[in-house]
Amino acid sequence: MTRSAKPDRQLRLGTRQSPLAMAQAHEARSRLCAAHGWDESAVELVTVRASGDKIQDRPLADLGGKALWTRELDAWLAEGKIDGAVHSMKDVETVRPASLTIAAILPRADVRDVLVGAASIAAIPRGAVIGTSAPRRAAQMLNRRPDCRIVNIRGNVATRLAKLAAGEADVTLLAAAGLERLGQTDTGTALDSSDWLPAPAQGAIGIECRSDDAGVQAILAAIDHSPSHAAIRAERALLLALGGNCHSPIAALSVLTDGQIELIAALYSPDGAESVTGSARFDVGDDRVPGLLAKDLLVRATPGIAAVFAGGPERGS
């Protein structure tokens, strides 16, 4: 464990204001202070209301995509208002500014999706309404249950559960990691990740800082979890090579065993009718293989899948 003197001034970590984002920021602060032997007063949490939190009546993909979660924090990093930004890594665009770097990935939590409103996918009533704004979850569900209907439900965990209780949908899907961080582990039924792949980077918290700030990078390095970082790096490399965007239904998961990564991925057409799956095993640090897996998936993709993977790497979406 690294031990260092209390910094001359508070380290400022930026975070969105949502309950889940705050829980993630508190975890990051606790880990930093434990690693360096600091009192928690050494790290200030600076909150911002992100664009994605302000607009909840339309799908994120129609509003500018994942950039809506990072835009304000990116600006604050550039202006020096904060030293680091805490992110849910599945919400971070694949292509990031060269001026920023992902300095730490915390130990990855539960990667699974949780089904709320039914005991299993098979138990969902015929013709049920599925509430989700995620293209990946919508396509996966329609692939398994084409009889169901998708409606857009956005918002934080409490908002989505309230909408479900109000009858806006019969079933919804949430991330197990988010529920765990909010102390709601008794909510719904977790789906087996070997059968129902999660979103790339699901369950991972990352901390980003300025690329030219070596001091902050060194501080954050103390809480970087190498296995989790390797898994997230592989999944993000796959996303980059696929050239998808915020409308592209992509599911992926990296499993680390004995210094090797098994990367499993699936692509879907938006209506779930078409899918293609693949996997690759490679040594940790071999950045070529995710790209080769992406190429293989795209070569085998049907026209309905290929149509949503033609927009180039994900930048603002």
Spell out the residues 6+ positions from residue 185 whose beta carbon is closer than 8 angstroms to its own.
179
DSSP state of 311: S
**Chain length of the chain:** 317
Name residue 8's amino acid.
D
User: Which one is catalytic: 74, 91, 113, 224?
Assistant: 91
**Cβ–Cβ < 8 Å for 199, 134:** yes
62 is catalytic: no
Which residues are CB-neighbours of 163 under 8 A, at least 6 positions away? Answer: 131, 153, 155, 169, 172
Helix (H, G, I), strand (E, B) or coil at 275: strand
Q: Helix 226-242 to helix 288-300 angle, to the nearest 10 degrees?
A: 40
Do the beta carbons of residue 61 and residue 247 sit within 8 Å?
yes
Angle between helices 157-165 and 19-36 (to 10 degrees): 150
Distance CA 74, CA 3 (A): 29
* Residue linked to tokens 């989700």: 132
Enumerate the active-site residues.
Answer: 91
